[in-house]
Amino acid sequence: MSHSIYGIDLAKHSFSIHGEDHQGKVLIHKTITRSKVLETFANIPPAIIGMEACGASHYWARELAKLGHTPKIMASKYVAPFRTGAKNDLNDAFAICTAVIRPSTRFVRIKSADQQAILLLHRARDHWVHERTALLNQIRAMLAEFGIIAPKGRHALQTAIPEALEDGDNPLPDLARAIISDCFGHLLILNQRIADQEQCFDMLVSRSRQAKKIMKVAGIGPITATAVIASIGKGEQFDKGRDFAAWLGLVPSQYSTGGKPRLGRITKKGDRYLRTLLVHGARAVIASLGDKTDRLSLWCKSLVERRGFKRAIVALAAKNARIIWSLLRNDTEYQTI
């Protein structure tokens, strides 16, 4: 017997639901409160339930799966073409119900609670790194207001700040000295928090065979390894390595017509955080090639000569993405040549 189809428009307090059976008969079309969502679906036979990817969508998908349903998460771009009438929650639920059964719709793999917890660790660290950068720039500007030009680089600046605070001969007023001292104290706290989180990444890697495996790839460290595994698991949602690279936005954009393919810059679609980690790792590898003569180094050197430094970085990042997918999907070991 065919499953009925439901679309649910997620929100904080009010949830709109539209449901149809396999013949198109409307089963439900109403808005309920958050507290009644699970109660409502607990009294419904196993069904396919579509929802847009958003905050808490993975939580609701896990909870609905416990009730025997088949939840499916999709990007909002797959829903918009099926919305009819005005933009409101019930119309959104109807559009979701329609989009979830379309063969061209692509779905987001549901993450476990542990995967989301690891990604929270990444998001917190990323926020603190950005906050540290902003704070360093602010302190640099504060010192410049009084004619004290700090050296370039984070470590050099962190060394120069206490020296400037302790120098009684510089033109810093007492009030400015106190404010910069407070900022420097906050900077030290941020440094400690970031260092503590990096130890957490090392601990996670020590417990993960998959993470240890992909860290053998050049340019992949504990942060990138844990982020990839928490984001895609074993990579089963991708048919091939290029699909993973495309999901990361590391493949050329295409504008083709009349049988003439035209390739442009990389799309930069998908997970920006993962793409950034892979690109930074590739940059570190290419910047340290030196006199290395292994196969990968020679390939990178040739690419730099032919296409330039920046294009070589992106090419290596895309190559690493495909290698990582193959290692995870096929459960193989990375072998250097």
Residues in the chain with pLDDT < 70? 1-2, 337
Q: Find where tokens 């896990």 sit.
A: 62
- Any residues with CB less than 8 A from the CB of 130 and at least 6 apart, and which? none
Q: Cβ distance 293 to 232 under 8 Å?
A: no
Q: Which amino acid appears at position 242 of this protein?
A: R
Nearest to 271 by CA among 263, 279, 260: 279
**Angstrom distance (rounded) from CA 285 to CA 289:** 6
What does the alpha-carbon distance between residue 121 and residue 230 come to, in Å, rounded to a whole number? 11
Using a 10 angstrom Cβ sphere, with 0-12 exposed, 13-18 middle and 19 or more buried, the burial of residue 306 is exposed
Tokens of 29: 């079309």
Question: What is the pLDDT at residue 161?
Answer: 96
Per-residue pLDDT at 1 = 44
- Please report the beta strands in the chain, taking only residues with DSSP state E, as ranges in sequence order: 4-9, 14-20, 26-33, 47-52, 70-74, 107-108, 252-254, 263-266
Q: Note the pTM of the prediction, 2 decimals.
A: 0.89
Token duo for residue 83: 């919305």
Measured between alpha carbons, how far is residue 153 from residues 133, 136, 156, 158, 159 in Å?
A: 11, 10, 5, 9, 10
Dump pLDDT digits (tens) for 142-187.
Answer: 999 999 999 999 999 999 999 999 998 999 999 999 999 999 999 9
Residue-level pLDDT at 2 = 57
Predicted local confidence at residue 15, as pLDDT: 97
Residue 337: what pLDDT?
Answer: 62
pLDDT at position 262 is 87
Report the distance separating Cα 224 and Cα 112, nearest Å.
19
